[in-house]
């Protein structure tokens, strides 16, 4: 007889849970026979006592198996099924370029992405700024677009890893979100359900990162790599910098515009370009589409220079209901904010530091992010043309431009932005864009 309290007791007392324990408990989460209070008790026990690697693999697989699993073998795809997942940040628009770039190099990218919550922007929200784009196609339509275009970026449907959705809701209100074991199981359950051959994790570090310290970021990355490989998916990770916005923009339609300009070669933020190339190259290597990073970067640059990656993005948008002429006329399809004005520096100096989380919260306060999952977004608003760490600026020079719906929200964002950008008398030391690469030993 299955008794949830006995499994909770084992983990509370520091014992390892068996595969059967975990499968039974997750099955109870899915069918409702395990109560929220019991989920809360187990996740708190895991928070304090952790999970051995084998337990974590079983938890990720059990949550994967709580719903539908995507299958690709019957499509006879001529390349690997690969994906990337980021722990989130500000101006992290990488996915919009990465999917088409990897597809242009022979990969197939079924990217199941999330909406933003808190200070981090969501990939799904950026694509939802495109009129007509359908982020929730049927499974058959999703598979068709991946096969024909090479990439489809959609949202998580209710039948993919449903146990994780319930567990996360409980963790969110019981102060157990930070458990590395549970974060790992949550991320991987959804990615494993997508039927991947290879996965690359982008774990952020810095003032805009989800994990509070570099040590925690490395711990999470190492755990995801071990559990992902233990679950049968070739997994690696990069630790990347998030002590300032990654792109020149933050906000949904504004970031989508930057992604289009990047793919078309109109302009490419050097920091955004380097992180995007590093992640794409790792996907090609782990997916066995390139023998090493140098070959991968050559292929990716060709995909950009030839226009192939831009063409694939346009085809994906059209295939999922967006405008057929989006790449040529993107500005006409996304309305600008009524107010676009700069925030001016009150003194001369060097940009010495940024509270990147505070910058993300300024976008939220404008209406470009959510405080609650049910909040409606204003896709028009956000920030653009940021100064960068170490840059010298004069008094009265722009720190950034605010795209606002009205004067009150402009004033609020201006106050937040001035508080988030610190000016100093000397330039800070430069930070690396990629701190380290973590692969299976």
What pLDDT, on a 0 to 100 scale, did the predictor assign at position 213? 92
> What residues are labeled active site?
83-86, 123, 171, 186, 190-191
For the chain, what is the mean pLDDT?
A: 95
Q: Is residue 58 part of a domain?
A: no
- Mean pLDDT to the nearest integer, 37-57: 97
Over 70: is that where the pLDDT of 49 sits?
yes
168: left (phi over 0), alpha (psi -120 to 50) or beta: alpha
213 lies in the same domain as 299: yes
130 lies in the same domain as 93: yes
Q: What is the pLDDT of residues 342-363, one digit of tens each?
A: 999 999 999 999 999 999 999 9
Is residue 56 within 8 Å of residue 229, measured between CB atoms?
A: no
What pLDDT, on a 0 to 100 scale, did the predictor assign at position 211? 86
Rounded Cα distance between 320 and 275, Å, is 27
Q: What is the pLDDT of residues 8-39, one digit of tens each?
A: 999 999 999 999 999 999 999 999 999 999 99
- Mean pLDDT to the nearest integer, 40-48: 97
Is residue 113 within 8 Å of residue 157, measured between CB atoms?
A: no
User: Rounded to two decimals, what is the model's pTM?
Assistant: 0.95
145 lies in the same domain as 241: yes
Rounded Cα distance between 47 and 178, Å, is 8
304 lies in the same domain as 401: no
What pLDDT, on a 0 to 100 scale, did the predictor assign at position 113? 85
Rounded Cα distance between 418 and 330, Å, is 31
What pLDDT, on a 0 to 100 scale, did the predictor assign at position 88? 86
Residue with tokens 């302009």: 267
Over 70: is that where the pLDDT of 333 sits?
yes
Q: Is residue 152 part of a domain?
A: yes
297 lies in the same domain as 391: no
Rounded Cα distance between 189 and 135, Å, is 20
Q: Is residue 367 part of a domain?
A: yes
Residues pairing with 204 in the sheet: 240
Q: Is residue 104 part of a domain?
A: yes
172 lies in the same domain as 255: yes
Q: Give the whole-number percent of the chain exceeding pLDDT 90.
A: 87
Reported as a pLDDT band with limits 50, 70 and 90, residue 116 is low
Give me the CATH number covering residue 186.
Answer: 3.40.1030.10
405 lies in the same domain as 303: no
- Mean pLDDT to the nearest integer, 136-165: 93
Q: How far is CA 240 from CA 44, 94, 114, 282, 301, in A?
A: 29, 12, 20, 13, 21
The β-bridge relationship of strands 198-205 and 234-241 is parallel
Residues 6+ apart with CB under 8 A from 273: 262
Terminal Cα-to-Cα distance of the chain (whole angstroms)? 40
Q: Is residue 268 part of a domain?
A: yes
Over 70: is that where the pLDDT of 204 sits?
yes
Number of domains in the chain: 3
169 lies in the same domain as 298: yes
Residues 6+ apart with CB under 8 A from 297: 277, 281
Element (H, E) at 340: strand 339-344
What pLDDT, on a 0 to 100 scale, did the predictor assign at position 172? 81
311 lies in the same domain as 349: no
Q: Is residue 68 part of a domain?
A: no
Reported as a pLDDT band with limits 50, 70 and 90, residue 216 is very high
180 lies in the same domain as 281: yes
Residue with tokens 């932005």: 417
Residue with tokens 């800070």: 428
Tokens of 280: 């794409």
Range of the domain at 323: 73-329
Q: Is residue 345 part of a domain?
A: yes
117 lies in the same domain as 250: yes
> What does the DSSP 8-state code read for residue 365?
I
Mark 90-100 as b/e (b = at least 16 C-beta within 10 Å): bbbbbbbbbbb
Give me the CATH number covering residue 33.
Answer: 1.20.970.10
Q: Is residue 66 part of a domain?
A: no
Is residue 225 within 8 Å of residue 342, measured between CB atoms?
A: no
Is residue 171 within 8 Å of residue 63, measured between CB atoms?
A: no
Element (H, E) at 434: strand 434-438
364 lies in the same domain as 309: no
SS3 207: coil
């Amino acid at each position: 007889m299955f008794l949830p309290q006995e499994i909770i007791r084992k983990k509370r007392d520091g014992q390892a849970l068996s595969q059967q324990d975990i499968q039974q408990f997750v099955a109870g989460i899915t069918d409702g026979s395990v109560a929220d209070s019991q989920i809360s008790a187990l996740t708190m026990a895991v928070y304090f006592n952790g999970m051995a690697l084998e337990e974590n693999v079983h938890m990720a697989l059990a949550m994967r198996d709580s719903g539908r699993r995507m299958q690709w073998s019957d499509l006879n795809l001529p390349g690997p099924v690969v994906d990337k997942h980021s722990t989130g940040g500000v101006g992290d628009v990488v996915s919009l370029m990465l999917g088409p770039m990897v597809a242009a190099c022979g990969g197939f990218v079924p990217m199941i992405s999330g909406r933003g919550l808190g200070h981090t922007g969501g990939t799904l929200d950026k694509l939802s700024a495109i009129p007509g784009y359908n982020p929730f196609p049927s499974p058959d339509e999703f598979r068709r677009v991946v096969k024909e275009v090479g990439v489809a970026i959609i949202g998580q449907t209710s039948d993919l890893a449903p146990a994780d959705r319930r567990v996360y809701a409980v963790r969110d209100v019981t102060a157990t979100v930070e458990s590395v074991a549970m974060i790992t199981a949550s991320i991987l359950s959804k990615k494993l359900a997508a039927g991947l051959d290879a996965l690359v994790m982008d774990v952020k570090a810095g003032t805009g990162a989800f994990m509070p310290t570099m040590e925690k970021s490395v711990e999470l990355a190492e755990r995801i790599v071990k559990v992902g490989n233990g679950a049968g998916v070739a997994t690696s990770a990069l630790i990347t910098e998030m002590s300032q916005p990654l792109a020149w923009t933050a906000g949904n339609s504004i970031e989508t515009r930057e992604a289009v300009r990047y793919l078309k070669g109109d302009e490419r933020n050097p920091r955004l370009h380097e992180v995007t190339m590093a992640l794409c190259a790792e996907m090609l290597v782990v997916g066995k589409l390139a023998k090493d990073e140098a070959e991968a970067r050559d292929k990716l640059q060709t995909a950009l220079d030839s226009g192939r990656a831009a063409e694939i993005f346009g085809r994906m948008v059209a295939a999922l209901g967006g405008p057929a002429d989006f790449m040529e006329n993107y500005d006409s399809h996304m309305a600008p904010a009524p107010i676009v004005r700069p925030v001016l520096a009150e003194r001369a100096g060097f940009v010495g530091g940024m509270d990147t989380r505070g910058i993300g919260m300024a976008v939220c306060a404008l209406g470009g992010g959510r405080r609650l999952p049910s909040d409606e977004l204003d896709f028009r608003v956000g920030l653009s043309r940021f100064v960068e760490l170490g840059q010298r600026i004069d008094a009265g020079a722009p720190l950034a431009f605010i795209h606002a719906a009205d004067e009150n929200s402009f004033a609020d964002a201006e106050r937040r932005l001035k508080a988030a950008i610190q000016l100093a008398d000397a330039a800070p030391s430069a930070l690396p864009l990629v701190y380290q690469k973590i692969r299976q030993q």
